[in-house]
């Protein structure tokens, strides 16, 4: 349909909530626990719903210090976190019930709003479990503001990382970011120079044993560039871009063709799967890499992520003008 | 003299007929050759050699050195090169334990069995692979009527040499040049050189470095023609006056050859711009000490300004005919350990922004080229690295000159590491430590100290001699220090392992050196009125994605004058390119990937550079912190 109004078209589906605008269309899935589809200019940006991420592929120092053994619960949480509850608010008004049939029977195909917010409450697969909420607030211009909130729990081990992982259907041709040069971590960013940088492709830093890599601390903005889709009716390569902006605070990100789990499983770089997707992690907390030794000494205390403290991560997804 | 195999079992036999170690100077027949830096007195024997591999000493071709030997079933091999990388013998990477761990029970001679050799421990061992090398060569024209020396710059680990059927000599100490006089056995026309290399001998107990374990002729082999009067050794002692303005130079030389007594030595000293500062002529003698040179003003050598002076020494015969000309670049710099227990170089507190560097090439192992060395120097300069510890052996000869020229401080380490003899599963257990206090192992380690000193004594870049690595400490290592103290007052001595034997601290190491000490522990030590300045001989273990928290070490530099920096572990990943049949790509492999057991797997991947010499991302952090001081 043609969008003449400067408002979001809201589709109150039975399993999903759709939000449309002039050059975008989003689908939030109640079953999948998040944003299932992010279409801009008729092209899809998501392969699976974004999920909170807690793991990083074990570094040699993590291995030597036994960190991954102590924090192994977060490995499971990274895979198996489940959605417990979804809530929807339209123009600031929370809906008392999830708008699926029969609750949504009174709507039409002509529902509009200035702002729709969905909050997905997830439970970590840890003992004890702790809630994580992912809130998406979509405005009529197509902008998505995302808040990821981790609820601190002192009974849990230190976190390897906390962020939101976006898996895109095809590999990126590269990315551009405003932040620090090179690969940086909280305890290794003094040498990073602030600037705007372009990275070709999705380089995986070729550590002898594949491990956590490619982190960029203190980032204001990152734009992912792709030119292919999986849509059988859209086979012509043409550039497309999606931008993630900081909200109040800078974020950290890595953009790789692999999940932490895939990196974790390989003993050599050539054992990694053929690159076929883009895995963008936007992080609100990153653990240091350490370096005193690789056989027992942990990362310095100030670069740990204590499980006891709440973590809030805020950023936005902006559409191309 | 006949060679015997039981030398492999005897720690007191480590050099037979080997010429004395001497300075690493080059020599040329003419000034034209000098300008071209190509000496007709040096003939490379690198290239294709005949080769026969044997899995054990018993399987070796016994009479292969006889001129009549039929070598038609020999293969060929490239020299220099590792036998294992040529496809013979299994590649193995192992760290602290000895490479025969779990396969063979061995203890060092003269340790647990009191005062005895262990017969056949290496000479009849099932794990001691043998390379038999043959090289036929024709003596170059320029060599006729001259004494001829063969120089092996590095052979791992025990080397026997024959020429035309005659036994020439024997050497151990894999990382030090070994020279033998071939003159008595040379013949006109074709000559047959035979070299036998054993992978193991008693030296295996003291060459237990954390690295891939290789064998073979892995550095250059040269024939050297010595003129009728030849400079065997050049000993330069430049000193800086207390005012740091003027300087002195003492020059002592050793000469050999029939024409020495009628020879004349003409020495010229030029500054960095080529201006002649001094000349002096002395009559030839076995030992010639020049009158001391004094200079009112000298430009000091430092990493910031590595100024080198040029010495040229011409050796002339009785008819004023030039026999050889020797150039040497030297520098003035003053290293002091002052009463405030701080090391100063040229009146400034020393701050080491260092790395440990193994010699490595992912295709050829420890066989590295001049281009590799130059690339490493450039990487150091590009990233504010001002110091290199030659872990844990002497490097190839050109490295020291490159560091002089680039302004890289050197901690010149001996070829000594015996951690398998005292470190077990992370615990200190020195029940059969060598060299320890053992008199039967003393001569071998003193010889290593002497070789390291004699070859490299003229290099201004060297500010520390290092006695070795992770070998515990006893009387023998104390004697190594005594050797350096007796020969060299222009440098300091470093050794970390004395940390385990505090009673020897007065006799071993001018510095308190530790490895991988935590920043707060270093601060606690320095707050406790320590006796010596502090250096991290190894820190910031850069394994995989690492090198976090460097700020805490940097802060120590600002807080404690006695904290004098350290050497990051380490410069380059040790891993090997292998063609992977599954992906049809050349990929990097590490320990355990060659079915090698016991192995320490990826533990050798600790470099600031990946094994192919591309920098790891963390190097930008090194450049930043090393740029602050």
CA B421 to mean position of chain CA atoms: 22
CA angle A67, A72, A76 (to 5 degrees): 150
For residue A147, the SS3 value is: strand
Which residues does A23 contact at the CB level (< 8 Å), separation at least 6?
A40, A41, A142, A319
Q: What is the pLDDT of residue B142?
A: 83
User: What distance lies between CA A60 and its chain's CA centroid?
Assistant: 25
State how far residue B83 is from chain A, nearest Cα, in angstroms. Answer: 24
Domain that holds residue B394: 349-626
Angle at A315 between CA A310 and CA A316, to 5 degrees: 150
Name the nearest CA neighbour of B13 among B130, B100, B155, B123. Answer: B123
A195 CB within 8 Å of a chain B CB: no
Residues B542 and B530 in one domain: yes
The answer to whether the beta carbons of residues B622 and B609 sit under 8 Å apart is no
Residues B345 and B335: their CA atoms lie apart, in Å, by 5
Question: Does any CB of chain B come closer than 8 Å to the CB of residue A60?
Answer: yes
Interface of A with B in 256-295 (CB under 8 A): 268-270, 288-295
- Residue A290 with chain B: CB contacts under 8 Å: 546, 548-549
Question: Would the CB atoms of A291 and B540 count as touching at under 8 Å?
Answer: yes
CA atoms of A180 and A252, how far apart (whole Å): 10
CATH code of the domain covering residue B252 = 2.60.40.10
Size of interface A-B (CB pairs under 8 A): 126
- For residues B261 and B387, state if they share a domain: no
Q: Do the bridges between strand B343-345 and strand B348-349 make them parallel or antiparallel, or are there none, so unpaired?
A: antiparallel
**Cβ–Cβ contact B586 with A under 8 A:** no
Structural contact between residues B180 and B150, judged by C-beta atoms closer than 8 angstroms? yes
Low-confidence ranges of chain B (pLDDT < 50): none
Cβ–Cβ of A60/B546 closer than 8 Å? Answer: yes
Q: Does B305 touch chain A (CB under 8 A)?
A: no
Last residue of a domain, one of B172, B204, B226: B226
B186 lies in some domain: yes
**CA triplet B411, B485, B423: central angle to 5 degrees?**
55
Whether B548 sits inside 8 A of A297 (CB atoms) is: no
- Min Cα distance A53 → chain B (Å) is 20
The dihedrals phi and psi of A198, each to the nearest 5 degrees, come to -110, 135
Q: Are residues B212 and B308 in the same domain?
A: no
Query: Helices then strands (H, E): number in chain B?
Result: 8, 38
Other CB atoms within 10 Å distance of the CB of residue B269? 20
Residues A4-14 as b or e (16 or more Cβ within 10 Å = b): eeebbbbbbbe
CA B142 to chain centre: 30
Q: Does residue B240 share a domain with residue B179?
A: no
- Which residues neighbour B75 within 8 Å (Cβ) at sequence distance 6 or greater? B50, B51, B52, B53
Q: Cβ(B434)–Cβ(B462) under 8 Å? A: no
Helix axes B519-526, B550-559, angle to 10 degrees: 10
Which CATH number fits the domain that encloses residue B507? 3.20.20.80
Per the CB < 8 Å rule, is A59 touching B616?
A: no
Helix (H) or strand (E) run with residue B11 in it:
none
Mutation target to probe the A interface, by most A beta carbons within 10 A, among B356, B545, B572 is: B545
Is residue A61 within 8 angstroms of chain B, CB to CB? yes
Strand partners, B309: B330
Nearest CA in chain A to B544: A207
Which CATH number characterizes residue B155's domain? 2.60.120.260
Residue A125 CA to residue A81 CA, distance in Å, equals 5
Task: List active site positions of B.
Answer: 470, 538
Same domain, B405 and B477: yes
- Whether residue B139 sits in one domain with residue B75: yes
Q: Give DSSP secondary structure letters for B225-293.
A: EEPSSEEEEEEEEEEE-TTSS-EEEEEEEEEESTTGGG-EEEEEEE-TTS-EEEEEEEE--SEEEPPPE
Q: Say whether both B453 and B530 belong to one domain.
A: yes
Do A293 and B583 lie within an 8 Å CB cutoff? no
Element (H, E) at B491: none
CA distance A248 to chain B (A): 26
Interchain contact, A289 vs B548, CB within 8 Å: yes
Residue B336 falls inside a structural domain: no
Determine, for residues A289 and B546 on separate chains, whether the beta-carbon distance falls below 8 Å.
yes
Tokens, residue B493: 């001595």
B221 and B365 co-located in one domain: no
Nearest CB to B549; choose among A59, A269, A292? A292
CB contact under 8 A, B546 and A209: no
The separation between CA B156 and the C-alpha centre of its own chain, rounded to angstroms, equals 13
Tokens of A202: 């999705």
* Phi and psi, residue B449, nearest 5°: -65, -45
- Any A CB within 8 A of B590 CB: yes
Number of structural domains, chain B? 3
What residues in B contact A302, CB-CB < 8 Å? none
* HEC assignment per residue over B55-79: CCHHHCCCCCCCCCCCCCCCEEEEE
Residues in chain A closer than 8 A to B606 (CB atoms): 294
The pLDDT value given to residue A2: 54
- Is some CB atom of chain A closer than 8 A to the CB atom of B521? no
Of B199, B226, B253, the domain-final residue: B226
Cβ(A292)–Cβ(A188) below 8 Å? no
**Residue B136 forms part of a structural domain:** yes
Between residues 402 and 461 of chain B, which touch chain A (CB distance below 8 Å)? 426
**CA–CA dist B453, B414 (Å, integer):** 9
Confirm if A132 and A150 have CB atoms less than 8 A apart: yes
DSSP assignment letter at B300: B
A180 touches chain B (CB under 8 A): no
B342 located within any domain:
no
Does the residue B185 lie in any domain?
A: yes
Beta bridge partners of B170: B16, B160
Mean pLDDT of all residues belonging to chain A: 97
**Could you give the CA distance from residue B239 to residue B236 in angstroms, rounded to a whole number?**
10
Give a yes or no: residue B370 inside a domain. Answer: yes
Question: What is the pLDDT, as a whole number, of residue A31?
Answer: 94
Residue B426 has a pLDDT of 84
Contact assessment for residue B629 and residue B353, using Cβ atoms and an 8 Å cutoff: yes
Chain A residue with minimum CA distance to B549:
A187
Alpha-carbon gap, residue B121 to B116, rounded angstroms: 12
Examine residue B343 and state whether it is found in any structural domain, yes or no.
Answer: no
Q: Is B518 on the interface with A (CB under 8 A)?
A: yes
Tally of CA atoms within 13 A in the half-sphere of B495 that contains its CB: 33
- Contact status of B210 with chain A (Cβ, < 8 Å): no
DSSP assignment letter at A69: H
B-chain residues within 8 Å CB-CB of A304?
none
Contact (CB<8Å) B549/A183: no
The tens place of each residue's pLDDT in chain A, 321 residues long, gives 556 668 999 999 999 999 999 999 999 999 999 999 999 999 999 999 999 999 999 999 999 999 999 999 999 999 999 999 999 999 999 999 999 999 999 999 999 999 999 999 999 999 999 999 999 999 999 999 999 999 999 999 999 999 999 999 999 999 999 999 999 999 999 999 999 999 999 999 999 999 999 999 999 999 999 999 999 999 999 999 999 999 999 999 999 999 999 999 999 999 999 999 999 999 999 999 999 999 999 999 999 999 999 999 999 999 887
Q: Are B524 and B537 in contact (CB under 8 A)?
A: no
DSSP-H helix ranges across chain A: 60-65, 67-70, 73-80, 260-265
User: For chain A, give me the number of helices (H) and strands (E)?
Assistant: 4, 21
User: Residue B107: phi, psi to the nearest 5?
Assistant: -130, 150
- Please give the full DSSP string across B161-203, using - where no structure is assigned: EEETTEEEEEE--TTS-EEEE-GGG--SSEEEEEEEEES-SGG
Q: Is residue B94 part of a domain?
A: yes
Task: Identify the domain boundary among B226, B260, B283.
Answer: B226
Q: Where are the beta strands (DSSP E) in A235-277?
A: 240-246, 251-256
Cβ contact, residue pair A289, B605, below 8 Å:
no
Residues B320 and B379 in one domain: no
Give the separation between CA A50 and CA A35, rounded to whole angstroms. Answer: 6
Q: Which of B548, B588, B607 to mutate to test the interface with A (most CBs of A within 10 A)?
A: B548
What's the pLDDT score for residue A3? 60
Measure in Å the smallest separation between the Cα of B629 and chain A Cα atoms: 14
CA distance A264 to chain B (A): 13
Do residue B407 and residue B502 come from a single domain? yes
Q: CA-to-CA distance for B260 and A53, rounded, in angstroms?
A: 79
Same domain, B324 and B415: no
How close, in Å, is residue A203 to chain B by CA atoms?
Answer: 12
Same domain, B424 and B517: yes
Contacts of A211 in chain B (CB under 8 A): 544-545
CB B458 within 8 A of CB B328: yes
């Amino acid at each position: 349909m043609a969008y003449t109004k400067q408002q979001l078209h809201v589709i109150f589906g039975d399993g999903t909530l759709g939000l449309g605008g002039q050059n975008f269309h989003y689908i939030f899935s109640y079953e999948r626990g998040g944003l299932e589809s992010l279409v801009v200019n008729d092209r899809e940006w998501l392969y699976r719903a974004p999920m909170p991420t807690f793991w990083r592929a074990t570094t040699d120092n993590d291995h030597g210090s036994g960190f991954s053994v102590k924090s192994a619960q977060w490995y499971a949480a990274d895979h198996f976190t489940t959605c417990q509850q979804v809530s929807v608010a339209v123009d600031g008004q929370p809906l008392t019930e999830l708008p699926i049939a029969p609750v949504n029977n009174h709507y039409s195909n002509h529902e509009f709003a200035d702002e729709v917010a969905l909050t997905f409450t997830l439970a970590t697969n840890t003992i004890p479990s702790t809630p994580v909420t992912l809130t998406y607030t979509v405005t009529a211009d197509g902008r998505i503001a995302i808040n990821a909130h981790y609820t601190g729990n002192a009974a849990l081990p230190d976190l390897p990382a906390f962020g939101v992982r976006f898996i895109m259907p095809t590999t990126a041709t590269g990315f551009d970011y405003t932040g620090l040069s090179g690969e940086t971590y909280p305890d290794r960013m003094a040498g990073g120079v602030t600037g705007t940088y372009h990275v070709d492709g999705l380089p995986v830093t070729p550590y002898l044993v594949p491990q956590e890599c490619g982190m960029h601390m203190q980032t204001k903005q990152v734009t992912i560039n792709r030119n292919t889709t999986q849509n059988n009716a859209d086979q012509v390569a043409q550039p497309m871009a999606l931008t993630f902006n900081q909200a109040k605070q800078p974020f950290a990100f890595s953009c790789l063709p692999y999940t932490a789990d895939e990196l974790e499983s390989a003993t050599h770089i050539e054992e990694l799967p053929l690159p076929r997707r883009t895995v963008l992690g936007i992080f609100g907390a990153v653990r240091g890499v350490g370096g005193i030794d690789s056989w027992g000494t942990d990362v310095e205390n100030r670069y740990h992520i204590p499980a006891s403290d709440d973590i809030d991560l805020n950023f936005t997804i902006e559409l191309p003008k | 003299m006949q060679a015997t195999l039981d030398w492999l079992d005897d720690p007191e036999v480590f050099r037979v007929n080997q010429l004395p170690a001497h300075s690493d100077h080059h020599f040329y027949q003419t000034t034209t050759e000098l300008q071209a830096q190509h000496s007709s007195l040096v003939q490379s024997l690198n290239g294709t050699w005949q080769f026969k591999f044997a899995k054990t000493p018993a399987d070796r071709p016994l009479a292969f050195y006889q001129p009549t030997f039929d070598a038609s079933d020999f293969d060929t091999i490239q020299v220099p090169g590792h036998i294992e990388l040529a496809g013979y013998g299994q590649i193995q990477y192992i760290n602290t334990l000895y490479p025969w761990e779990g396969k063979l029970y061995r203890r060092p001679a003269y340790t647990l069995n009191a005062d005895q050799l262990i017969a056949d421990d290496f000479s009849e061992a099932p794990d001691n692979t043998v390379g038999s090398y043959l090289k036929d060569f024709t003596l170059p024209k320029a060599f006729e009527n001259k004494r001829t020396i063969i120089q092996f710059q590095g052979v791992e680990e025990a080397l026997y040499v024959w020429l035309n059927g005659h036994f020439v000599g024997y050497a151990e100490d894999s990382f030090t040049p070994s020279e033998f006089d071939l003159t008595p056995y040379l013949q006109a026309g074709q000559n047959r050189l035979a070299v036998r290399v054993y992978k193991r001998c008693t030296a295996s107990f003291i060459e237990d470095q954390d690295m891939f374990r290789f064998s073979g002729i892995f550095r250059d082999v040269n024939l050297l023609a010595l003129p009728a009067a030849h400079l065997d050794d050049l000993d330069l002692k430049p000193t800086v006056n207390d005012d740091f303005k003027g300087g002195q130079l003492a020059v002592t030389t050793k000469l050999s050859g029939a024409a020495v007594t009628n020879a004349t030595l003409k020495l010229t000293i030029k500054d960095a711009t080529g201006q002649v500062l001094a000349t002096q002529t002395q009559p030839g003698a076995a030992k010639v000490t020049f009158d001391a040179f004094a200079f009112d003003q000298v430009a000091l050598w430092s990493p910031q300004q590595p100024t080198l002076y040029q010495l040229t020494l011409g050796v002339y015969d009785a008819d004023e005919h030039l026999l050889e000309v020797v150039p040497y670049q030297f520098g003035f710099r003053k290293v002091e350990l002052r009463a405030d227990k701080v090391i100063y170089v040229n009146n400034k507190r020393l701050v080491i922004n260092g790395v440990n560097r193994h010699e490595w090439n992912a295709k050829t192992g420890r066989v590295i080229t001049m281009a590799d060395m130059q690339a490493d120097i450039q990487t150091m300069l590009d990233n504010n690295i001002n110091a290199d510890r030659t872990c844990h052996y002497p490097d190839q000869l050109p490295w020291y000159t490159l560091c002089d020229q680039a302004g890289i401080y050197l901690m010149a380490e001996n070829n000594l590491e015996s951690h398998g003899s005292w470190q077990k599963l992370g615990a200190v257990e020195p029940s059969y430590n060598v060299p320890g206090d053992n008199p039967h192992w003393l001569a071998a380690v003193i010889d290593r100290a002497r070789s390291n000193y004699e070859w490299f004594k003229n290099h201004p870049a060297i500010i520390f001699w290092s006695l070795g690595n992770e070998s515990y400490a006893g009387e023998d290592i104390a004697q190594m220090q005594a050797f350096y103290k007796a020969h060299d007052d222009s440098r300091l001595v470093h050794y970390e392992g004395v940390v385990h034997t505090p009673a020897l601290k007065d006799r071993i190491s001018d510095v308190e050196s530790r490895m991988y000490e935590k920043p707060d522990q270093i601060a606690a030590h320095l707050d406790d009125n320590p006796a010596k300045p502090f250096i991290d001989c190894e820190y910031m273990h850069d394994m995989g994605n690492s090198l976090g928290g460097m700020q805490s070490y940097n802060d120590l530099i600002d807080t404690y004058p006695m904290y004098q920096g350290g050497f990051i572990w380490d410069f380059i990943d040790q891993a090997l390119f292998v063609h992977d049949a599954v992906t049809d790509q050349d990929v990097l492999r590490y320990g355990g990937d060659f079915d090698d057991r016991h192995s320490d797997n990826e533990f050798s991947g600790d470099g600031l550079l990946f094994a192919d010499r591309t920098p790891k991302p963390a190097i930008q952090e090194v450049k930043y912190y090393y740029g602050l001081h």
